[in-house]
Every structure is written in structure tokens, then in C-alpha cells.
Amino acid sequence: MTRQRIDDLRRELNRHNYNYYVNNAPEISDIEFDMMMKELEALEKEYPEFDDPLSPTHRVGSDINKGFEQAMHIHPMLSLANTYSVKEVDEFVSRCREGLMGEKFRICGELKYDGTSISLIYENRRLVRAVTRGDGEKGDIVTANILTIRSIPAVIQAEDAPDSFEIRGEVLLPWKAFERLNEERAYNEEPLFANPRNAAAGTLKMQNPAEVARRELDAVFYYLIGDNLPAGNHYENMQAAKRWGFKVSEHMALLDSMEAVDSFINHWDRERKDLPVATDGLVFKVNDLKQQLNLGFTAKSPRWAIAYKFPAERALTRLRFVSFEVGRTGVVTPVANLEPVLLSGTIVKRASLHNADIIASLDIHESDMVYVEKGGEIIPKITGVDTSLREQDACPVEFVKYCPSCGTKLVRPEGEASWICPNKYGCQPQIIGRIEHFVGRRMMNIDGIGEEISQTLHDTGLVENIADIYDLTAEKLMDKAGLGPKTTARIMDGIESSRHIPFERVVFALSIPYVGETVAKKLARGVKDIDTLMTADEEQLTAIDEIGSRIAGAIREYMTNEKNIAIIERLRAAGLQMEVEATGIEGSEKLKGKTIVISGTFAHNSRDRYKEIIEAHGGKNSGSISKKTDYVLAGENMGPAKLEKATKLGIPVIDEDTFLSMISNDDK
């Protein structure tokens, strides 16, 4: 039984590590994960005969993304031992005192920012490499994305900064930026990020630095490493880093006693709720660097530091009823409507239950008393039910079988968690949702048509589908929809301007299932025009970067529907852009059938420009090397792992001059 429990814990922890670090979609709270880890550590200590070098207790979770080049850390990025108990923090202070043989020491207390860890390497006072924590030994190189964060200095101007050093910190998404991002995702019916940490981690791993920049990441730094540091203690080094241009926490404090440590915890347990960024705890470090060295490390973490995590805030409130809401893609989402309750400074009245499986796993009954939790999450979620308070005759909450709007029987696609209303062209919330989406700022940007006016246009019969928008006139808007002259003029101007919106945004505006903004760009650049998109088969579609079989199947289903074909033809007749703008690249078929991986930095063109050139000459871009790769186009600072793999597979590695010669027209 003991061996079985150890195996089960290892399997579960590995799965949760993957969900947290790779998918950025944790299924359980930090405290649940930590409790499982502590149970496994205790069992392995008690039964050493069952030890395994690959156990989660011997590893730091990994966020390595195979789409990026990797680099080894100069110094391993270890995780901190953590606790939810003030008593255990006091025990840490006592252990430090014993380890230092009674020598006087100070503790530096600081906020534990809830972001994604980053290591920056500076040489000659210039940023040369930014690496994620990864598995602690190596991480992904994300320098281009880090350079989009304006609070991070690319070049150090201060004369007292050493020529070479490493600085570590947390990449963050401030609350305001996080809320804006989730509002956009909700509008596009994309899954919402649970918290700023997941959003920051996902953003940092995006392949498009322009999109990274748009999301407005920030960073706070917490540790300096190097041979010629300005001081022999952590606090003064971080103050120096602040002078050099790094954002450092303003709330660091030197603490001389256990009482001061406890007071620091009590203070921030209250005050952290007013901060502009997410925090999930505090960190306590021995301040003196020599004392840190003397205390040393365990296999997983430094002995001179500990993280104290704040317990998640939760409240008990009554479930009033569960409503079922239909989105523009037909997905039916259950929402718990609650008796209002104060949680993390806001009144919570509603919480998404996500899907039927969540309802079943929580075993929610009518009028149940439910636990609502926020903690580091900004989105309220129901985490449990107090069954002792359940009414005797309460019935289980059941997911609806028919659409709450149009009455159509719901379907559940194979392998999907969501139930969907298939009545795409007769279900009012779906129709209105597609109209709202089409006119949105990042789609066709038709100013003046929002949620309320979309409803009005549909209710009055003026707009049954998105193509009807281009049949609107000022007279119809004022006479039938009852709009004023200013609003009418704004809408008509927006309709006219939308005829010049680029093709990739037209593709996004069509509401093709699973085709979000990024996929729409890839798709548009891959097919080049609407006719190719309408006729492309699954094999042609999946050859496009980031288009998998599920997306390809959804595109084929959309493009073979007669109603959609008619709408697209009307949009074409209305003058919308139905092909990508010319890139100025004279194309050919010299790279037809060739798959090319780009790595490094270049002198003649940017990486994005080289991708356009490859596609213009019939080639295909790929983010990773495999047996199907024909060439690696290598610039400066090519990743050693990619070079090693290319050499092992016998794939030609060419520089940009050789590449440009290959596609030259001189041989015509």
C-alpha cells in the first residue's frame, strides 16, 4: 500500500507539474500541490528503499518550450522551500541561527511576486540573454520577448555597475493589464487566464514579440549574482540594481529578530490586497552573502531562504441558482449565481462552473452552501460544497440537455468538455455574438456598434448575419433602429473604413471555430487569399504553422457550409479585403516543398522577414528541427542544442548569405 501511494503521488505531481509549467493551466491550488509534495517527501524519507532519482521531490518543475532554443543556467535556478505556517518561518530563523553558530545575522523580508521567473545575463553592461527558469538547470531563451518590457534596461548606463552580472526576477502582468487581456479573451470566447501568473507565463512564451509588447508585461527583480558585486549583502546589492535602472521592490525590509519577521508577515497579510500586481506570499533571506554561502543548499533549495505563502481567501455563501449562457460559437457555459459575498475586497455574485464535468465533480445541489475562492486568482471559482448544510430534499444540479435560448438539443463533440448548441444560424445569442465579434475593435473596427446596438439591429430585422451590415444605410439606421444622427454617422464611417481592414483581420472576424487572432494571422499568411482558404483540404491546412487537425476540420466544416459561402461572397462584393497585402518580395518556387528552421539573429533581414521570404519562395517555416527539416538558416548566437541536433541528423546549416544566394534571381 505504501509503494502504491508513493507511485500515485509521483504520477499526480508529474501531471500537475506539466499542467502548471507547460500548459499554464493548473488544476489544483498551490497549497494542494505543496501538501502532496510534502506527503511524498515524508514517505520517501521513511521508506528510502522506494527512492527514485526521477521522483518529483528531486526535480524542479519545468516550463521548457520546444519552440525556443535552450541555454544552461550559469548557476542553477533552484526553487525555495515554502510554508503556509508562521511557526515554520520562525523555525527557519532558528535553523539559520544554529547553522551560523550564534553569529549575528539579519533577515531581508520582501514580497513574493506571483509571476514567472527570469534570469538576465549582462555582458559589457548590455543584455545578451534572457532565460526562463525551465527545469532549474536550463531554460528557454526569450531575449526578444524580454526586450519588449520597457521597465527592463537593455543597456546599463551606471558607471558603478560591473561589466558582467546576472540578475533574477519575476515577469509580471499587472492587474489592469490582466483585466484588459481577459476582457478581450472573454469577448472572443477564448478561455480566460485564471490569474496574472499564468497570463505572464503564457505571454512570455509567445513566438510574436509584437503581441508580447501589446500585453504590457512588467518585471520586478530580487537577486543579483556576479564576481564584482557592489556590496557583500543582498539588500545593498538590490538597492544598487535599482540605481542601475532595474525595478526592485520598494517594500524590502531588514529584520533583526523573529518578532520583526512575524510583524512583517502580519502587516503584508493585510496590505498586499492594495498592490497593483499579484503577490502570493513573502520571501525571507539571510542578508549577508558569506553567511548564505556558509548555510549552503539542499538538493532542491537554498538553506538561507524560505517562502511564506498566504492562504487563499475563501468564503461560504449560498448558491441561488445555476444559469446556462450561450456564446457566439454555441458553447453553453454554466454560471453559479450566488448570494453576494465579500471576497478579496470585491463583492462576488457570480462564478463560472466551466462545464458539466466540473458540476459533477463538485456534486453541487440546489441551494447548496458553496466555498468561493480567490486567493491569487482574480476570477472567483467554486472550490467545494459544505454538505453538512445541504437541505434534505435538495436535488443535484444537472446540466441542461437543450439550448436555453432556442431549445435545440445540445451536442458534445468527441474529446471536448463543452456542450454546444448546433443551431448556429437560428440561435439568437450566437447570431448576435457573431455580429458583436465582427464589428469589434480588433476585427473590423466598426465604431458605434456595440452589444446593445447589435441586439437592436438584429431585433429590427436589419442585420440577420454579418453581411447585412454592408446593406445598412443612414436612413435605415435612423428610421428602423431609432438611432441618432451622430451615432448613425459614426457607424456609416466605420463601415466604409472596414473595407480597408487587412485580410487576416477579416479571417478573424468571420467567427470560424477555434480561429483566434493569432491563428487567423497564420492562416491568412499561409493561404494568401479567401479562395484558397475556401477550397484548401485538411492536408494543405495542417501544413500551415500552428494549424492542427482540429482547427483544420473546423475550417473545412465552416467553408463547406452554403450559408457561410453566401456570406463570404456578399462580403467580397461589399469590397472587403480578400487577400493578403503584397510584401514586396518577388516570389518563386525555389524552396517549394522545403522545410526551413530559422535560428539566431541576422544582419540583412529580421527573422520575421526571413519567414516571409521563405513562404514567398514556396518554402515552409518550422520552429523545431526534425527529420523533415531540409535546412537550418543560422544567424549569430544560434542555439547550441539546435546546432547539435542538426549535425546529428545531417541537416545542412546555412548562413544568410548562402540562403540569399539560393533564392537569387541571378541564374534566370
Active-site annotation, residues? 112
3-state secondary structure of 110: strand
With a CB cutoff of 8 Å and minimum separation 6, the contacts of 632 are 596, 597, 598, 599, 625, 638, 642, 643, 646, 651, 652, 653, 654
How far, in Å, CA of 189 to CA of 206, rounded?
20
How far, in Å, CA of 581 to CA of 65, rounded?
32
Of 271, 375, 364, 380, give the one whose Cα is nearest residue 318: 364
What count of residues does the chain have?
Answer: 668
Planar angle of CA 148, 442, 522, nearest 5 degrees? 70
Element (H, E) at 529: none
Q: Are 578 and 529 contacting, i.e. CB atoms less than 8 angstroms apart?
A: yes
CA 641 distance to own-chain centroid? 25
Separate counts of helices (H) and strands (E) for the chain: 24, 21
Q: Are 281 and 275 contacting, i.e. CB atoms less than 8 angstroms apart?
A: no
Q: What are the grid coordinates assigned to 494, written together?
A: 466605420
Element (H, E) at 174: none
Instruction: Write b or e for each residue in 258-273: b if 16 or more Cβ atoms lie within 10 A of its Cβ, otherwise e.
Output: bebbbebbeebeeebe
Q: How far apart are the first and last CA of the chain?
A: 75
Of 186, 185, 167, 183, give the one whose Cα is nearest residue 175: 183
Element (H, E) at 514: none
Q: Pairing between strand 305-309 and 82-83?
A: parallel
Q: What are the grid coordinates assigned to 115, written together?
A: 509571476
List Cα–Cα distances, 558 to 271, 426, 535, 553, in angstroms. 51, 16, 11, 9
With a CB cutoff of 8 Å and minimum separation 6, the contacts of 121 are 74, 127, 128, 129, 130, 131, 164, 166
Give Rg (Cα) of the chain.
28
Give the number of other CB atoms < 10 A from CB of residue 19: 16
CA 540 distance to own-chain centroid? 28
How far, in Å, CA of 427 to CA of 404, rounded?
10
Q: Indicate the residue type of 220.
A: V
Q: What are the grid coordinates assigned to 139, written together?
A: 531554460
How far, in Å, CA of 27 to CA of 12, rounded?
11
Q: Pairing between strand 218-225 and 369-373?
A: unpaired
Q: What are phi and psi of 311, to 5 degrees?
A: -65, 145
CB-facing half-sphere around the CA of 538: CA atoms within 13 A: 9
How far, in Å, CA of 426 to CA of 563, rounded?
12
Q: Are 596 and 590 contacting, i.e. CB atoms less than 8 angstroms apart?
A: no
- Residue recorded with cell 536550463: 138
How far, in Å, CA of 132 to CA of 279, rounded?
19
Q: What are the grid coordinates assigned to 117, written together?
A: 521567473
CA 485 distance to own-chain centroid? 42
